[in-house]
Amino acid sequence: MKITTDLVVVGGLSIALIVGVVMGAPAELLTGIAGGLSGYLSKTAVNHFENSHEIAREKDEVK
């Protein structure tokens, strides 16, 4: 498995969220971490699907 920036960011935020819940961190902190995680995941998903459509279009144009 290749370690990418996405893997590091999502893994770090997930671990921070889990540790925060277990250790009883303030709700404001957990909300910020959860918001960052969901925002990053949605941005990454949108970019992934946009790029895959562009790649598919390029393959169709080559044929």
- Read off the pLDDT of residues 7-58 as tens digits, 9 standing for 90 and up: 899 999 999 999 999 999 999 999 999 999 999 988 888 877 776 666 666 6
Confidence at 6, pLDDT banded by 50, 70, 90:
confident
Confidence at 5, pLDDT banded by 50, 70, 90:
confident
Contacts of 36 (CB under 8 A, 6+ apart): 13
List the structure tokens of 33: 């971490």
List the structure tokens of 62: 């080559």
Confidence at 59, pLDDT banded by 50, 70, 90:
low
Burial of 9 (0-12, 13-18, 19+ CB in 10 A): middle
C-beta separation of 13 from 33 below 8 A: yes
* pTM exceeding 0.75: no
Instruction: Map tokens 């960052």 to a residue.
Output: 36
